Chain A
Amino acid sequence: MDIRVQEAPFDLGAEANAFAARQAGMGAVVTFTGIVRDLGGDLDAMEIEHYPGMTEKALAGIAEEAMRRWQVGDVLILHRHGRLCADDLIMMVATASRHRADAFQAAEFLMDYLKSRAPFWKKELTQAGEGWVAARDEDEDALRRW
């Protein structure tokens, strides 16, 4: 299990390759990447705040839960904080399993939980001003399917 919270950018290809390379006996690796979107066409930056200490614990707890529920051999969660721009990579998860269904489901579970149970907050800075991104009811609803 590899949990990283960092300000620095990450190399998606290098991370995915390193994750796949350290597995043994796994038939499937699934990765998901979240990217900053400029929905209004005027995004100057996105600032991501987090709760140092709790963030790492919350992510580790979510990863452990995924490994308990599915036949998953390894989990990577990498999440950035600080100032990002449109099209920057925000975060990634990777899961490895013997059969693909476990890796797919565990990756979806990780995403659903870290969206609304890991202490990150996004603020959008646009030409019109700045505002905190509101949590969406759909994100809370998504937890109920697990």
Chain B
Amino acid sequence: MDVLYFAWVRERIGHPKERVETRAATVRDLVEELRAREDRYAAAFADLSALRVAVDQELRDFDAPLGGAREVAFFPPMTGG
């Protein structure tokens, strides 16, 4: 699946998008896999309460299932308007 990062999450991880091969069942499982990769991922995902997630461009929570998902995005709370 494609994993996208926005705003300070993108800056902390160092790129806006990457292809991830995973069998993670939920968003939380995917986060655990990413955290284990490198310090910059661990830093970006240190506090999940500071993050929001979208699965296939719909806002979801961290317990959302990933079955069949093509795109997961992580970002801070939004500041539009």
Contact A79 B80 (CB under 8 A): yes
Indicate with 1 or 0, residue by residue over B55-81, a CB within 8 angstroms of chain A CB atoms.
001110000000000000101111111
Contact A54 B79 (CB under 8 A): no
Contact A135 B76 (CB under 8 A): yes
Known contacts A51-B57, A53-B57, A57-B57; is A118 also within 8 Å of B80 by CB? Answer: yes
Taking CB atoms and an 8 Å cut-off, the chain A residues in 51-90 that contact chain B are 51, 53-54, 57-58, 79, 90
Question: Within the complex, which residue of A51, A57, A58, A135 is in contact with B79, where a contact is CB–CB below 8 Å?
Answer: A135
Indicate with 1 or 0, residue by residue over A119-146, a CB within 8 angstroms of chain B CB atoms.
1111100000000111100001000000
Contact B4 A51 (CB under 8 A): yes
Contact A132 B7 (CB under 8 A): yes
Whole-angstrom distance between the alpha carbons of A51 and B80 in the complex?
A: 12
Question: Within the complex, which residue of A58, A117, A118, A121 is in contact with B7, where a contact is CB–CB below 8 Å?
Answer: A121
B54 at interface by CB-CB < 8 Å: yes
Whole-angstrom distance between the alpha carbons of A116 and B80 in the complex?
A: 6
Q: How large is the interface on A (under 10, 10 to 19, 20 to 34, 35 or more residues)?
A: 20 to 34
**Least CB separation from A62: chain B residue:** B80
Q: Kindly count the residue-residue contacts between A and B in the assembled complex, taking CB atoms under 8 Å apart.
A: 68
Whole-angstrom distance between the alpha carbons of A111 and B81 in the complex?
A: 7
Contact B79 A122 (CB under 8 A): yes
Residues of B within 8 A of A133 (CB): 79
A114 at interface by CB-CB < 8 Å: yes
A42 at interface by CB-CB < 8 Å: no
Question: Within the complex, which residue of B54, B76, B77, B81 is in contact with A54, where a contact is CB–CB below 8 Å?
Answer: B54
Whole-angstrom distance between the alpha carbons of A110 and B77 in the complex?
A: 17
Residues of A within 8 A of B57 (CB): 51, 53-54, 57-58
Contact B75 A91 (CB under 8 A): no
Known contacts A49-B6, A51-B73, A119-B6; is A91 also within 8 Å of B81 by CB? Answer: yes
Whole-angstrom distance between the alpha carbons of A140 and B79 in the complex?
A: 11
Contact B76 A132 (CB under 8 A): yes
